Structure 1
Amino acid sequence: MREKKNHLYVDSEERKLLLHSLVGLKNQLIQQGRYTDCVDELIIKVIHAPVKKLRVEMAGRSDV
């Protein structure tokens, strides 16, 4: 059976916050002397993730 894939859509500010948090986690793991392989893979995935333009519409808008 195939693994279920999850997609995460974030804007540029959320992407920056995500990268900043992952780098902070990596630094904590380094200070503790633990492996950072998983965090490194996530950082690379976030950096190389394709940009997809989405149209977002507000629910309940009356001026349509």
Structure 2
Amino acid sequence: MEILLWLAPAAVVAVLAMAWVGWVGREPREQVDREAALERMAGALARPDRAGYAAPAPERDRSTGIAV
């Protein structure tokens, strides 16, 4: 276990660097226009639901239980 102690400073530096890059690289928060958000939500809820899926369901193989 003592032989791995030399890895501790490198691990701490790596974790701090990842946290710093994650914080600096994020997009700044912008104020959300409440009315525009409500209009987008109402538009999304007003759209009719599509019946079914985009692709047809694949046909199931008839298994005989015998390995080929």
Superposition TM-score, scaled by structure 2 size: 0.30
Give 1 or 2 for the bigger CA radius of gyration.
2
The structure with higher relative contact order (CA 8 Å, sep 6+) is 1
Superposition TM-score, scaled by structure 1 size: 0.32
